[in-house]
Amino acid sequence: MTLSKPQLRTLRLLEAEPAHRVYRSQRAGDYTWVHEATTVSLTATLHQLFSHGCATVSHDNRDVAVITKKGRSVLAAIAARGSR
């Protein structure tokens, strides 16, 4: 699987701590995904990671995005390739 630089950066952020959904209004679809370690919105990149199966919403709180096993294995494979 090939991920873009922003997707890899977002996975690394999720590995450190979850991202959070912030609602901008009362409308259900009017939200953005944010992370404490960055000032940019992660919404589009995170949605791509959701579709790749590298990230998902938490089972306990659907407003929290977490890295999946697949996401962790992608990061591990990249780290292993980089150490060669």
pLDDT digits (tens, 9 = 90+) for 40-81: 999 999 999 999 999 999 999 999 999 999 999 999 998 898
Kindly report the number of other CB atoms within 10 A of residue 35's CB atom.
Answer: 19
Burial class (CB in 10 A: 0-12, 13-18, 19+), 64: middle
Q: What pLDDT does residue 29 have?
A: 86
CA dist., res. 43 & res. 47, Å (int): 6
CA dihedral 7, 12, 16, 20 (to 10 degrees): -10
Q: How confident is the model at residue 84 (pLDDT cuts 50, 70, 90)?
A: low
Helix (H) or strand (E) holding 19: strand 19-23
**Given strand 55-57, what is the order of strands in its sheet?**
31-34, 19-23, 64-67, 55-57
